[in-house]
Structures are given as structure tokens and as C-alpha cells.
Homo-oligomer: A and B are copies of this chain.
Amino acid sequence: MALTLGIVGGGQLARMMIAPAVELGVDVRVLTEEPGMAAQIAATATGDYRDLDTVRAFARGVDVITFDHEHVPQDVLRALVAEGIAVHPGPDALQYAQDKLVMRARLSELGMPQPDWAEVTDAADLDAFLASHGGRAVIKTPRGGYDGKGVRVVSDAAEAADWLSDGTPLLVEELVDFTRELAQQVARRPSGQIVTYPVVETVQRGGVCAEVIAPAPHATGRLAEVAAQIGEAIAEGLGVTGMLAVELFETADERILVNELAMRPHNSGHWGQDGAITGQFEQHVRAVLDLPLGDPGILQPWSVMVNILGGPATDSLEDRLPAALAAHPAVKVHTYGKAPRPGRKVGHVNAVGDDLDAVVYEARSAAAFFGD
């Protein structure tokens, strides 16, 4: 009997797990939020992932439950585990991806390098933090934020009045004077095996990942080693199973600080579909099924990923495909079956090669065919 993997959530991360699962002979089932989502081809159920009965019914007959996102509530996750269903990553790990205050507190315990941070519940606390951190800081809602949502830079507590009004604690963080952003990916099996990807450079625009260069340029030696150690320590310290992405700040004084975590395949690892011996989607499938992990090595010296954000306003990705493929025969185009909408991630392109400038140019030029 083939192993059966159940994925909760029908977005592009689920979609991109399907191909490597099929290659390995793993049957895939997806619980989608609505019909016609990115992972539709493997959808076997549609419903609300916050509803225990829906998820429980979906979980019947699968060997492992994993996720397209980190939003399945703890009570649902814990009920599944209590019923003997294998859930990876599990609720104990996922709590750190679901609540940024819980995450910060745990990383402090683990001695991970982080921006200064505090939990604030009122204007006085926030103003005190601002006063001791140069008058500006980042505030974050602990839950539900992504792609720049739930994040705000403030220089006065009055700018946070709407978020503070309901008494929910906020996370406030030092505004790090970083020189660039990096991401470190690690895969970990339930039985403990870990593999570590090369650290990559991520370029954000408007809080959303725009480009990734793998490996991060000038990240040989100490920097790469420190990033790898941070990734591995967090994967083990938080008990992550599956893919973990650690978003990092690199500072002018060569420190590395942990920004955010994701416990699933992550945009910073899409390059590996075409540039790594084992891409993150295959690796996640292997890890959550507790299969031996694959070699995370690179196939070419450089890989560059550029997101297709928004997509064309007047026509479709399909309409743009022929011209893009004709101009860039060596670029790999990935689309998600999603309708274009301003700012929405609707696809990405990957390019590989041995000349970084040429690879960046190829990837950016190809992605530009799908823009406005």
C-alpha cells in the first residue's frame, strides 16, 4: 500500500508538494478551503480547517497530516494527536509559528540571537520601549500576520492605538539596522535526522518576498556556519518536523538576528525546485512521512527565484506565457492556478547558472513578462 499524505490547505505550497509526492509514489489528498484552489488536482475534501469534524473526517485513512499554512487551531491539532493521528509539524512546534510572543520567549530561552523585544499591552509600555530604543520600533500582532500584514513601524504609542485598544498583548521589537535579509532552511524528521540547506539572501519589497539568491552571496565561512547552527538549534529546540525556514537579519556589524519562523515550505526555498538536488517540497514530504531526508546540495553555483506578484491586470498569466518562454528558454516558470490580483503571489520563476549577474538578469527579465 502506498503511503498517503494528507495536506490541510489548498494553496500553492500544497500544490507544489504534489509533484514530488507523486514521484516518490506517495498518494496525496488535500483539504481545500474552497473549490478551484491551487492544489485542486489532489483535492479530496473541501471545508473549514478550523472545524474539528471536517479535519478529523479528512484525516481518516491518511498516514500523516501536514499543512499548507500554520493556521489550524491548537484545539483541532491536539484533538487529532489525542486520537492517534500523526500530525507534522505537531501542535507543540506549531504554537511557536502561531504566536510571535510565544516564539520570542522560547527563542530567548534557547539563547538565539534576536532583536530586543517586549510584550506590551498599553501605550505606556510601548512608549517606554520606544524611549529606550531610539524612538522607533516595530510592532506586530502576535497572531495571524503574514507578508507584511500585522506589522507596523511606529515612533509613538499613539500610532498603535487601534491595536492596543482591545487589550490583546502586542509584540514590540527593536528596529534592526540590517544590511540585508537572509533565510536559513532546515528539514527535520520525527526520528531526529536533520539536513541543512545553504543560507540564502532574500529581497523583500513592501514586506513581501520579491527575490531569493541561493546561496547568499559572500556568505561563505562563518556567516553560513552561524546561520546553519541557528536553523538547526531552532528545529531541535522547538521540535519542528518537516521544513523550517528561519528569516534572519544580517547587521552592519556582522551579527545575525532571528526575524521570523515558518514551519512549512517557504517562499525562500522555491529556488530549490530547480536548483537543489532535493527541493524543499520533496524534502517536506519526506520529513513529515519520516522517510530519510534527501541531499540539499545545489545543482549549479547560483539559483535565483523571482516572484510573480499580482500578475497582469488586463489579461492572464497564460496569455503572457508564450512570450516569456520564448525569450527565456532556460528559465523555469511556475504558476499556481490563481487569478491575478494586486500584490498576490501568483507564481514565480527560477533560473540557475554559474554567473550570478546573468542568472539574476534572466530571472528578473522572465518574471517581468508576467507583470503589469
Residues of A within 8 A of B (CB): 1-3, 15, 18-19, 22-25, 28, 41-42, 195, 277-278, 286, 291-295, 297, 299-300, 316-318, 321-322, 325-326, 329-330, 332-337, 347, 352
Q: Are A333 and B24 in contact (CB under 8 A)?
A: yes
Contacts of A293 in B (CB 8 A): 325, 329
Q: Are B292 and A24 in contact (CB under 8 A)?
A: no
Q: List 14 A-B contacts (CB under 8 A).
A: A19-B22, A22-B41, A23-B335, A24-B321, A25-B317, A25-B335, A25-B347, A277-B330, A278-B330, A286-B325, A293-B329, A294-B325, A294-B330, A299-B352
A144 to chain B minimum Cβ distance, whole angstroms, is: 29
Q: Are A333 and B292 in contact (CB under 8 A)?
A: no
Contacts of A347 in B (CB 8 A): 25
Q: Are A1 and B318 in contact (CB under 8 A)?
A: yes
Q: Are A318 and B25 in contact (CB under 8 A)?
A: yes
A18 to B352, CA, bound (A): 23
Knowing that A24-B335, A291-B325 are A-B contacts, what are 8 other residue pairs whose CB atoms are under 8 Å apart, sorted by A's residue number? A1-B318, A2-B337, A18-B41, A19-B23, A25-B321, A277-B352, A293-B329, A299-B300
Known contacts A325-B292, A330-B295, A337-B2; decide if A15 and B22 are in contact (CB<8 Å): yes
Q: Which of B41, B286, B329 contacts A42 (CB 8 A)?
A: B41
A302 to chain B minimum Cβ distance, whole angstroms, is: 13
A327 to chain B minimum Cβ distance, whole angstroms, is: 8
Q: Are B1 and A316 in contact (CB under 8 A)?
A: yes
Known contacts A41-B42, A300-B299, A325-B294; decide if A23 and B332 are in contact (CB<8 Å): yes
Contacts of A332 in B (CB 8 A): 23, 277
A299 to B353, CA, bound (A): 9
A347 to B2, CA, bound (A): 14
A330 to B316, CA, bound (A): 38
A355 to B272, CA, bound (A): 22
Contacts of A299 in B (CB 8 A): 299-300, 352
Q: Are B24 and A18 in contact (CB under 8 A)?
A: no
Residue of chain B at shortest CB distance from A316: B1
Q: Are A292 and B329 in contact (CB under 8 A)?
A: yes
Contacts of A297 in B (CB 8 A): 330
Known contacts A277-B330, A300-B299, A329-B278; decide if A337 and B294 are in contact (CB<8 Å): no
Q: Which of B18, B316, B322 contacts A291 (CB 8 A)?
A: B322
